Structure 1
């Protein structure tokens, strides 16, 4: 196979290079190392045999050709946790963190960098000095290098380290003394629970120093667990290692300042890489007396507590944190089992404790967060790390009532007795309450029956209304589809003719087509206006506004508009009788009433016929009459004439929607009036409208 890429890390002693391109990285074995060597940034072309690796492919028996040189690839920024699981193996990567420790092995500088709550070991070859740059400690740093994944004997990843060439792979900012600034203020306590690489300064009192690297403090923020900084191992005497200043011996009660990096996570705050500055000595803090269920709740994680439990057994087991074997007590309180760890180096209690001995235990409560509490909090299991001058005190044999089995039996007996007595009183109460309920039920039964009868009546009315609405919608869809189809067809036909043959037509023909389009558009607009008007009246959105009216002027304007809009030559004769001045009403509603009645009268009248429109005042009412000499309305259609979408059986091909008279009736009702119709086939039709347009006298 043949590959092209850039060398990120040459390893001449093993005749091997790390190489990558824009997609991934490979390890290349080169038996014949080229004259002049290979450097980081050298561009090469290789030919060899592909082989599989644990985390990245390999090329063996490779021949290499140098094609040039160039800048190093842009480092890949990956989460540290992902790289510890094997991701990014062999890639040129970058981590950001804080330098915690260092050593120098000839020209190879080793840095221990705290990054994202983990410790990453970084090697920088070609370091130019022969001394440790201790001024780099606690410096924020960016390190570029090739990621090498560390594996166990079963080839499972457990960590990684970086290897870079030259000091330019390490870029740092000035270091800050963690003890130089003020302690963390109480208002910023949430920072203790947020994982960070920079160390925070916290002041508190020592609750316990377990001599295994863990120190527990009592602070204004609550209990805090501190894990001391661990120095790098020195495998060779020639390796220069940073010698940390000796940490002070801590005793319970000492007031200290502690610098540590917050780990984050559930439970009490944990500070990593902790270092201490002792301020003064003081009395040991008093433990908090709690119950075992409170300890199991997780609310006292890392706190110095005192509780009581009875011993079940004692055993020797390896410490969870490694090291020598430790003595443990298996203890119980109620139904909760937990362990009490004796201090490191302490032997088994002498004389041995008898089972069921009641103990008073003092120590650090350490909660074990459950998997479902990864977002915060803890609870469930816990153990007690005994600490203090008298961590274990025997109180003699545990009382019988503390025995789990006997206590459960006593509680069960008491519960049965209480349940029996409670049952008697409860039954008596139920009988009295039921008697009152039956009396009240008898009183309200007739009311409930009547209410249900009214409800049934309303439901029947609602069902009838629903059926009418369904029929109305069906007729509306049928009407709209029919009424829109014809004018739309005319418009489309006229437009097609104009598009294709406009140049061949004379002005008269084009004007005729445009008139057809205009008439069809006006027809559809009128239909939509009627539908919208009906919708407003049916939904209750049509308002009634009473204002002064000039009926003569209103009728004159209305008849003029109708005669201009309708092509049928049919004059309208307005015959007012008496004095109609001083009328008040809603002009918009009156326009809907009279325009629909007059347009129907004109539309169904023969050419040359006359429509009579008269008005006469009768006290507070005005009676309007519209009479035509057209088709008339069949007797069978008169009961349905004001129904939506209903049209007379004798209208033939005369266009119409069946909505005009519905709108007229709704507008008349909004005006507080009434309307009637009379007529016979061939004799015309008379519509009579009575409206209260004048104020009542007296």
Structure 2
């Protein structure tokens, strides 16, 4: 009995003892401190359930009121186990987004169940109110990628917005594209230099934090749909999942943007892993329909087949005819006079103008800048950048031409 008691006392000995003990505080009280108050290094003690440990010395606890964190740069030996009840003593620090404790001493006083995860939406996560708490949510996997260090990133569509899922060593993630999943983990996110939450994340501890809820239609069983039907009214439309579209390549850009023509309808495609194509190539592409700017696009797209073809003919038009948006994403050709031009960080911007219409021509970095008054023959992709609503219709507000 004496040997067992000695072991328990050793296990509960503080790992570090650098801070004076202060009064007990709840997690909600700690995270409610202003940055200025937190940077006063106020001494506090906190008790909570261990839920997560990141790779940057942050340890996350949760009590009955909220989540909290403290920083510890030592080696956890033995490591904390999810569900451990931890008592920590330290001084406050503002942190990147949520106040926490530093210069800590802590001990494990017992073990219990993990907190029940809080059901969240994108709006819940971007609000920050559940930041650093154990949460769960569901959505459709849009794309995946893996860093050089083996870190896996999953882009999850929760409604119409994207939440990033970060976890280590999950090579099977690619097979989850277009699946509806439930993910359980720590609510976190990317913080800018103004202490604002810019992009919400969920950090599962491992792959067991991801559960498949619904599988998509097998790619081989997907029917090719006309580009002209994307996001048009369909009483029984299946939304939120990939569709298959085919067409002729009009232009391809290094950033992954791709423009195709399917019959008389042009379509913008944004690839998740950019592949450069040659104009005229006939392609089949899978992607998620999104309304962007003025008309439907395919996002997080993947090319599943392509073969050579003759170069596409541009649609001959004039500056005024671009104004109704009917040629959005189309390869067009027309003549216009330069009103103004200037160099930008990525190339050149040329203003083309007549009494009724103004269009911006975007040129690549290596292009010469034409002087005002120059008459040009232009061939490029028409892109409605912004639009405005008027009663039941939407009209283009600003139009750009991207030179191929």
Q: TM-score range by the shorter chain?
A: 0.7 to 0.9
* 1:634-670 per-position Cα deviation (integer Å, ceiling 9, x unaligned): xxxxxxxxxxxxxxxxxxxxxxxxxxxxxxxxxxxxx
Alignment correspondent of 1:330: 351
Which residue matches 2:183?
Answer: 143
Normalised by the size of structure 2, how large is the TM-score? 0.73
Q: Which has the higher strand share?
A: 2
Q: Is the 8 A contact 2:252 2:279 kept in 1?
A: yes
1:274 corresponding residue in structure 2: 301
The answer to whether residue 231 in structure 2 is matched with residue 190 in structure 1 is: yes
Measured in 1, the distance between the counterparts of 2:204 and 2:287 equals 28
Unaligned runs of 5+ in 1: 232-246, 319-324, 388-698
Structure 2 distance, partners of 1:298, 1:122, is 37
| Residue aligning to 2:270 | 227
Determine which of 94, 98, 101 is the counterpart of 2:144: 101
Q: Tell me which of 360, 365, 368 is aligned to 2:382.
A: 365
Alignment partner, residue 154 of structure 2:
112
Partner of 1:155: 195
Q: 1:265 to 1:316 in 2, by over 3 A?
A: closer
> Residue 329 of structure 2 aligns with which residue?
302
Following superposition of structure 1 onto structure 2, how do residues 230-309 of structure 1 map, counting pairs within 5 Å? 230=273, 247=275, 250-309=277-336
Distance of aligned partners of 1:354 and 1:257 in 2 relative to their CA distance in 1, 3 Å threshold: same
Distance 1:169 1:105, change over 3 A: farther
Determine if the alignment matches structure 1 residue 385 to structure 2 residue 395: no
Cα distance change of structure 1 residues 192 and 136 upon mapping to structure 2, 3 Å threshold? farther
What's 1:40 paired with? 82
Shift of 1:179: 5.7
CA distance in 2, matches of 1:211, 1:33: 44
Q: Check whether the contact 2:337–2:376 (CA below 8 A) recurs between aligned residues.
A: yes
* RMSD between aligned residues: 3.8
Q: Distance in 1 between matches of 2:233 and 2:273?
A: 21
User: What is the CA-CA distance between 1:252 and the residue it aligns to?
Assistant: 2.7
Q: Name the CA shift for 1:88/1:135 in 2 (closer, same or farther; >3 Å).
A: same
Shift of 1:269: 1.2
**Could you say which residue in structure 2 is the equivalent of 1:56?**
98
| Candidates 200, 216, 227, aligned match of 2:259 | 216
- On the 8 A contact 2:247/2:284 being kept in 1, the answer is yes
Deviation by residue 1:85-131 (Cα, 9 ceiling, x = unmatched): 6453212223423162233777x651322324555443335x5x8x6
* Greater length-normalized contact order (CA 8 Å, ≥ 6 residues apart): 2
Aligned CA distance change for structure 1 residues 120 and 24 (closer, same or farther; 3 Å) = same
Deviation at residue 221 of structure 1 after TM alignment? 7.8
Larger Rg: 1
Shift in alpha-carbon separation, 1:177–1:11, aligned structure 2, 3 A: same
Q: Call closer, same or farther: CA 1:376–1:82 in 2, change over 3 Å.
A: farther
Change (3 A) 1:208 1:330: same
Seen in structure 2, the aligned counterparts of structure 1 residues 167 and 381 have a Cα distance that, compared at 3 Å, is closer
Structure 1 counterpart of 2:109: 66
Structure 2 unmatched ranges of 5 or more? 1-23, 27-46
CA contact (8 A) 1:312 1:356 kept: yes
Q: Secondary structure at the match of 1:380?
A: strand
Alpha-carbon distance between aligned partners in 2 of 1:376 and 1:26, rounded to the nearest angstrom: 49
Structure 1 pair 155–21 and aligned structure 2 pair: CA distance change class (3 A)? same
Contact 1:31 1:62 in 2 (8 A): no
Return the structure number with greater helix share: 1
Q: Alignment length, in residue pairs? A: 355
Name the CA shift for 1:216/1:373 in 2 (closer, same or farther; >3 Å).
Answer: farther
CA distance in 1, matches of 2:253, 2:56: 46
